[in-house]
Chains A and B, each alone.
Chain A
């Protein structure tokens, strides 16, 4: 991800009002599971998936995991 710790600190979790921190998050996607450092709320654990990630790397992974 291209955001600095400071930058994401300024983003607040909508429910908790906490500043987000970078966290190692595990997620399953299609037939694979991955981990990535993503901004998350330290209190409720909610993960922010930016449009950049969704459109970029995750779309790339999706294409790779597709059947021929």
Chain B
């Protein structure tokens, strides 16, 4: 199985996606409310990652990468903000964001390929988690662009399993949270 390069974050050209970092109440059904809103309104999700944020587990943070072509940003933010369980929404664009994604992949490597494969991993800072004589499972936590590049090079080997978590992101520390109203002027798609 050769992984398709995932058409996710590309820093060149027009804006293809928005990254939203959404603080929600950690209550039953909240994820389904958020996902339901996106499907109902026709907002296309590229990836979504969620986990509790604080020790009290009162809130969770959802990082959503949404297709910029599917709706104007202001619509997405303002509709999301209407969900009662959504507490705060930050729109993080590429200049003002720290992003990470996690990859796990198992590749089949012939004996004579092993050294090259390990060197490739090392050059990306990927870590070997598990290995046999003919297979290695590696992990890489990096910017999605780097993960894309790594995946492309992995394709030289037999990729048995590949799993990506989707992006998680936080605003850089200088960016204040976007209130829904101020999301409007930056929106290039509104008609």
Bound pair (A, B): no
